[in-house]
Amino acid sequence: MTTLLHNFDYYLEALNSADAGSFDVPESLPATWNGIVTTNTRPMGVIEKILTNAGIGLSKPYVETGDMICVKVDWTLTSELLWGSMEKTYNKMGRPRPFRNDRLWLAVDHTADPRTNHETRQKGLIAKAERFRREAKIIDFLPANTSIMHTDFTRERAQPGRIVVGSDSHTCSAGSMGSFAVGFGAADVVMPMVTGETWFVYLKCAGSTLWANFPSALVRAVEYGGPSLKELSMDARFAIANMTTEFGEAKYADVRTIDLSEVRLTMALYPNPDDVVPIHERAGMKLDGCFIGACTTTEEDLIIGALVPEAGLYAEMRPSRHGKRRVTSGSLIIIKNLDKHGLLDIYRQAGFEVGAPGCSYCVGINDVDVAGEGEVWLSSQNRNFRNRMGKGSYGNITCAAAVAASSFDMVVTDPKFLLDQLDPAKLQRLVSGGRSKGPQPELQISEPTPEVSSNNVPMLFDSPDSDAGRTTSRVIRSKVQRFGENVDTDAIIPAEFMPGVDNADLGSHCFQYFRPEFRNKAKSGSTVIVAEHGFGSGSSREDAVRALQGAGVEAVIAKGFAFIYERNQLNMGLFNIKINDPRFYELAQEDSVITINKDNKTIQIEGSDMTFYYVQLDVEEALIESGGVLPLYRFKVGRKEYVTATMGTQGKKGARISLGSHFIQQY
């Protein structure tokens, strides 16, 4: 009875939050309101249609490059580790009621392992997650080692046309179900969790056309289509969408055709996910460990990964004594299915330890699944950055079948000779789970029905017209710390030091392994970073920005930033500049003295008479000037009040960002 009442209370809260979150047009709207408009649009891709349909207060019934738009968010996702970061922002907001307790997905997966869940760090993070679950009455809470956050969400909750925002970069996995799914930083996810809305500056969409007869990080949204899409299993779609985090008549920035019949077995070499070579070119490379797991490794991969060693064992191959072998699935549901068909026993016979669901070696922070210094690993995970699997380790990534084949002799092995021995009928039976195809549902295609208003919401009104309230200097003068291409967030702040007590704590570990001298140089006055393309690539951790702030960094200048990291910089209020002039990067070297004038938007380098100019979007400048999104945040109760206030207060003085029906205002 207690359990029944407990569940009833949670679902009653869900009904109440659904009712409170429904969009009701206020009785008195400005004369400029155009209502629901579906005409005068243009051809759009799927992503553009989803954003248009979810848009709030659009000035036209479509979106295009450069538009700043506010959208309604259907789901927010997080984990126990990332909730630890989100809670810092949530506490400062006064812990308001989540927008929808039945549209919030919280999984305990990153640091959790049955062998270490009793340890102080894991115990504390799990306790925080469970406390928030009770407080917010979260319907979809997955206890420790139940599922990796993306696996069961995509299988059980993701739907076509939905907007999904998560505090992990691999949230894009839900794109396999036709959702517009994107990873944000922790504070960035708190806002839609509380308000039900978020903002985008719509940039460009890249299209990929898939076609074939099957033989058996860039700031862009990616849309997959083509005649062979229907041939892909849901697990294959999941893996493709998951790895998208590393990189019609509708207008696309780029369209590429991929012939799936030409796809071959490859591996990505440490330390770059895009340093891809045919696996046979690295055959014989000695290994110290083999890992099959992480959210990228789907149930289908795990099945094939078991059938490969089964074929090897049948051929009298035996695992060597050298090395470590571990397999970890993404879900208890998957584990039960593998066990039901005897596949876990095959893994054990091949020398693998079978772990509970969790991120395991992919992040190397549960205190047991951590690669040793100097060890060389082959893994089916999705990233192979420096120190990702453990300090000083060398991670190379490939598919589960290749890892399984390589595990016998602990050398990189092309699995083709074992794959050729698999029984296609058995494989199909295992992959389908005994499910018959049955009749296919009739597809229903809907066009967007955007909410259009000539008020141009969201938009920025008037820059601050005085220096009142400014406490920071308008001029930065510092020595430079110079970085190259694709500095990833694992390098900026290793996951083992997250979420940290505060910024200073995180800052004390900034570039701990990648550049240990960084912190002392920052203390001595080298507080400006100059980097090339792709600064902040990799994991979505906003802790990277917090660590830079905690280390005393005043500004980051680069040719380009990774999408999630760039949003995190803005939301945390870390001053940043994008500049592409190659002459600047020739002059700005390690220990160069640089002067940044924020009023004139100029940069000068000592020893040169050149002046470099930079540009910032209004929204970027407003967020940076205010110290991030949190100081701008004003919470009110009642969504109708948001709509009326936002749509009826144009033209006021002060810096103002209107985000749909929720507005942020500073005078």
pLDDT in tens, 310-325: 999 999 999 999 999 9
Q: Which of 353, 236, 355 is nearest to 296 (CA)?
A: 236
Tell me how far apart the alpha carbons of residues 625 and 646 are, in angstroms, rounded to a whole number: 22
Res 435: pLDDT: 58
Residue 186 clears pLDDT 80, i.e. is over it: yes
The residue extents of the domains of the chain are 2-259, 276-412, 460-633
Res 14: pLDDT: 78
Tracing tokens 């799936």 back to the chain, one arrives at 260
CATH of domain 276-412: 3.30.499.10
Per-residue pLDDT band at 659 (split at 50, 70, 90): very low
170: helix, coil or strand?
Answer: helix
Res 630: pLDDT: 82
Mean local confidence (pLDDT), 382-387 = 89
Mean local confidence (pLDDT), 211-238 = 62
Res 45: pLDDT: 81
Residue 455 clears pLDDT 50, i.e. is over it: no
Reading the block at residue 250, the tokens are 């509708």
Res 232: pLDDT: 78
Tell me how far apart the alpha carbons of residues 361 and 169 are, in angstroms, rounded to a whole number: 17
Tracing tokens 């039960």 back to the chain, one arrives at 336
Reading the block at residue 303, the tokens are 């099945």
Second CATH level (architecture) for the domain 2-259? 2-Layer Sandwich (3.30)
Tell me how far apart the alpha carbons of residues 473 and 102 are, in angstroms, rounded to a whole number: 45
Res 437: pLDDT: 62
Res 472: pLDDT: 59
Tell me how far apart the alpha carbons of residues 526 and 518 are, in angstroms, rounded to a whole number: 9
Question: pLDDT by residue (tens digit) across 641-651?
Answer: 333 333 333 23
Residue 436 clears pLDDT 70, i.e. is over it: no
Question: CATH: 3.30.565.10, 1.10.10.60, 3.30.70.330, 3.20.19.10. Which one for 460-633?
Answer: 3.20.19.10
Question: Which letter does DSSP use for residue 98 in this model?
Answer: P
Q: Which of 522, 563, 572, 527 is nearest to 545 (CA)?
A: 572
Whether residue 271 is preceded by a cis peptide bond, meaning omega within 30 degrees of 0, is yes
Q: Which of 127, 138, 118, 173 is nearest to 331 (CA)?
A: 173
Question: pLDDT by residue (tens digit) across 462-482?
Answer: 333 434 444 557 999 999 999
Q: Which of 259, 273, 330 is nearest to 301 (CA)?
A: 330
Tell me how far apart the alpha carbons of residues 143 and 154 are, in angstroms, rounded to a whole number: 17
Res 44: pLDDT: 83
Mean local confidence (pLDDT), 496-500 = 90
Mean local confidence (pLDDT), 518-523 = 98
Per-residue pLDDT band at 376 (split at 50, 70, 90): very high
Q: Which helix (H) or strand (E) covers residue 92, if one does?
A: helix 80-92
Per-residue pLDDT band at 457 (split at 50, 70, 90): very low
Same fold, 276-412 and 460-633: no
Q: Are the C-beta atoms of 578 and 558 separated by less than 8 Å?
A: yes
Using a 10 angstrom Cβ sphere, with 0-12 exposed, 13-18 middle and 19 or more buried, the burial of residue 395 is: buried
Per-residue pLDDT band at 169 (split at 50, 70, 90): confident
End-to-end CA distance of the chain: 53
Using a 10 angstrom Cβ sphere, with 0-12 exposed, 13-18 middle and 19 or more buried, the burial of residue 333 is: middle
On average, the pLDDT of the chain sits at: 83
Res 647: pLDDT: 34
Tell me how far apart the alpha carbons of residues 489 and 245 are, in angstroms, rounded to a whole number: 14
Sign of CA dihedral 279, 280, 285, 288: positive
Res 456: pLDDT: 44
Q: pTM score, two decimals?
A: 0.82
Question: pLDDT by residue (tens digit) across 270-319?
Answer: 998 889 999 999 999 999 999 999 988 999 999 999 999 999 999 999 99
Res 32: pLDDT: 35
Classify each residue of 112-150 as buried b or exposed e, where b means 16 or more C-beta atoms within 10 Å of its C-beta. Answer: bbeeebeeeebeebbebbbebbeebbbbbbbbbbbbbbb
Residue 148 clears pLDDT 80, i.e. is over it: yes
